[in-house]
Amino acid sequence: MVHADPAIDGADTADAPESDLAVARAATPRPIEEVAADLGLAPDEIEPRGDGVAKLTQSAVRSATASEPDGTTVLVTGMTPTPKGEGKTVTTVGLGQALAGLGESTAVAVREPSLGPVFGIKGGAAGGGYSQVLPMESINLHFTGDIHALTAAHNLLSAALDNHLHQGNEEGVDVRRVDWPRALDVNDRALRETVVGLGGPARGVPREDEFVITAASELMAVLGLAEDLSDLKTQIGRIVLAEDADGDPVTPDDLGVTGAAAALLRDAFRPNLVQTIEGVPALVHGGPFANIAHGTNTLVADRVGASLADYLVTEAGFGADLGAEKFAHIVAREGIVPDVAVVVATVRGAKRHGLEMWPADFDALAKTDPEAVRAGVDNVTRHVEIVESLGIPAVVGINVFPDDAESELAALESTLTDAGIPVARSTAYRDGGEGAMPLAELVRERAGTGEFAPLYDLDAPLREKVETVAREVYGADGVEYVDGADEDIDRVEAWGYGDLPVCVSKTPYSFSDDASLTGVPEGWTLTVREVSPSAGAGFVVVKTADVMTMPGLPAEPAAEEIDVDADGNLSGLF
């Protein structure tokens, strides 16, 4: 099966001559102990988990994160993407390989793929072509079990809450105000709205419930932002599961099950070490959503990478308006500050904006049209401005697709250059690290030339923080609160969460909250519909629309193509 769409925000490679699986199988991975040695990790500091996969030991994690990381952190972000993505993961992996090729000690950090999309529409997610992470079969199927551990911990909290209701409800939980869903790592729309606890007194208390995909669990965000196991427990303990009759939060600490949930996440908290197809160390760890959460691999993986390597290349979800902004205001405040950022842009992506096209028509986008590309560049430059406004030096990496016309690539490149923006093409999908060498040189040159500066102070009121992001990042004229969002904010501040950063959930397909507004929309107002605390993870989610937290399967799911033979060889996965 020819590779279709390798990653959340991954490279489109419909015309790729070889499948990712074929490329992966032709590779000769290094022993994982040797990869670990590149990071200065001794054999007893990693725990093998099958061929080419290891978890760092708890003591290796502790010693690597004991001090402030002194490596250079490169954040890979992007322009406003099409639904097929612009190739951030491919660029991340390729750039890491290129930096290693330049002789720099380098680690790559990316998210763990979720099983739901693998069996739904995606067919696997670990970069692609000659810039992928190995072993792709393992990474895409269960991997080291981190996401399963999150599912188990999440549903233990759910069961404890419903058990509390059943056993007398001492905390006075209001069954109409349970905020904690159940979680499964599957695409299953029938679980979006359910009723549980039916069947009489032996079967719990009836109430409405929903299931989210595990990647959307607040525990995923908690795992992603905890500094150490103590911090993990602190964060879990303060999650708002529900409200009591007085409208006060009910938490895992109230139910006495914080330690049990943390115990289930003990090993999941340790980063996973694998390698890129060129043998560069890769930390694949965590995978939160990029809208209701912060959308990047774990903080602990970043800290380990930036401590043990001279260069850490890490990726944030969607465009810079979402991923980079959240990285700056949520992740960087925890100690991982980007020294430079790559804004990934594509001919196709620019063309979409130049043609003011929504929804994306990929057949139409395949037609050569350098003028349309040029007309769409303002979207890219705006993302660059956002990154620079955070005090992070930015360069543009043009992820080259096989069918990009030279005239289009030149249009994109020259328009950016004319605007004074450093830009380099990358053919990392086709050529591996070699294809990202010019980008790596640019990254090295620009790294550390800025001074990181968040756009807002944490002690500003929530509305002010939302206003700052809306105006200064998204380019809105202002913010409107509807459907009780104003009352939500009052409640969140009353609960004492007013000093958390905000995590705005909006469409990734426009700077605005309306996916059909392409380019750099002006003269619009951000509409906020709901505000709720992710008190465990440590941010306040600001929703501009209903967010799909449980995907569905398509009419012909990828699962129908996936198979395993008598020898254990997988097929159809990629």
Give yes or no for residue 139 binding a copy of itself (CB under 8 A).
Answer: no
Q: What's the closest the beta carbon of residue 3 comes to a copy of itself, in angstroms?
A: 17
Query: Given the structure tokens 């294809």, which residue do they identify?
Result: 435
Give yes or no for residue 152 binding a copy of itself (CB under 8 A).
Answer: yes
Considering only residues 82 to 121 of the shown chain, the ones binding a copy of itself according to CB under 8 A are 115, 119
Q: Is 305 annotated as a binding residue?
A: no
Q: What angle do CA 152, 155, 161 make, to 5 degrees?
A: 145
Of 13, 72, 132, 187, the residue at the interface with a copy of itself (CB under 8 A) is 187
Of 56, 149, 390, 537, the residue at the interface with a copy of itself (CB under 8 A) is 149
Which residue, 57 or 407, is less far from a copy of itself as judged by CB? 57
Give yes or no for residue 205 binding a copy of itself (CB under 8 A).
Answer: yes
Do the strands 173-178 and 242-244 form a parallel or antiparallel pair, or are they unpaired? Answer: antiparallel
Considering only residues 31 to 50 of the shown chain, the ones binding a copy of itself according to CB under 8 A are 47-50
Q: What's the closest the beta carbon of residue 38 comes to a copy of itself, in angstroms?
A: 21
Q: Is 214 annotated as a binding residue?
A: no
* Calpha distance 289→285 (Å, rounded): 13
- Which token pair is 557? 């799911």
378 CB-side CA count, 13 A: 14
Q: What's the closest the beta carbon of residue 470 comes to a copy of itself, in angstroms?
A: 28
> At residue 532, what are phi and psi to the nearest 5 degrees?
-145, 150
* Binding range to a copy of itself, per CB under 8 A, among 224-232, 387-395, 429-437, 529-537: 224-232
Which spans in 401-498 are helix H? Answer: 406-418, 428-431, 437-446, 462-468, 485-494
Contact 110, 100 (CB under 8 A): no
Q: Is 334 annotated as a binding residue?
A: no
DSSP one-letter code for 572? S
Of 193, 371, 403, 477, the residue at the interface with a copy of itself (CB under 8 A) is 193
* Calpha distance 392→338 (Å, rounded): 7
Q: Is 88 annotated as a binding residue?
A: yes
Which residue, 25 or 203, is less far from a copy of itself as judged by CB? 203
Q: What's the closest the beta carbon of residue 195 comes to a copy of itself, in angstroms?
A: 5
Of 15, 34, 51, 403, the residue at the interface with a copy of itself (CB under 8 A) is 51
Contact 417, 423 (CB under 8 A): yes
Q: Is 200 annotated as a binding residue?
A: no
Give yes or no for residue 458 binding a copy of itself (CB under 8 A).
Answer: no
DSSP reduced 3-state for 211: strand
> At residue 74, what are phi and psi to the nearest 5 degrees?
-110, 120
Give yes or no for residue 204 binding a copy of itself (CB under 8 A).
Answer: yes
- Which token pair is 152? 């188990």
Q: What's the closest the beta carbon of residue 557 comes to a copy of itself, in angstroms?
A: 7
Give yes or no for residue 169 binding a copy of itself (CB under 8 A).
Answer: no
Contact 504, 332 (CB under 8 A): no
Considering only residues 226 to 265 of the shown chain, the ones binding a copy of itself according to CB under 8 A are 228-230, 233, 256-257, 259-260, 262-264
- Which token pair is 430? 């086709």
Which residue, 144 or 507, is less far from a copy of itself as judged by CB? 144
Of 22, 40, 203, 406, the residue at the interface with a copy of itself (CB under 8 A) is 203
Q: What's the closest the beta carbon of residue 558 comes to a copy of itself, in angstroms?
A: 8
* Whole-number Cα distances in Å, 472 to 292, 325, 466, 479: 20, 10, 10, 12
* Whole-number Cα distances in Å, 508 to 52, 342, 504: 34, 18, 11
Give yes or no for residue 568 binding a copy of itself (CB under 8 A).
Answer: yes
Of 29, 101, 145, 402, the residue at the interface with a copy of itself (CB under 8 A) is 145
DSSP 106-136: EEEEEPPPPHHHHHTT----SEETTEEEE-H
DSSP one-letter code for 31? P
Considering only residues 536 to 565 of the shown chain, the ones binding a copy of itself according to CB under 8 A are 552-553, 555, 557, 559-560, 562-565
Considering only residues 60 to 79 of the shown chain, the ones binding a copy of itself according to CB under 8 A are 62
Surface-to-core class of residue 253, CB atoms within 10 Å of its CB (0-12 exposed, 13-18 middle, 19+ buried): middle
Q: Is 448 annotated as a binding residue?
A: no
Binding residues for ATP: 82-89
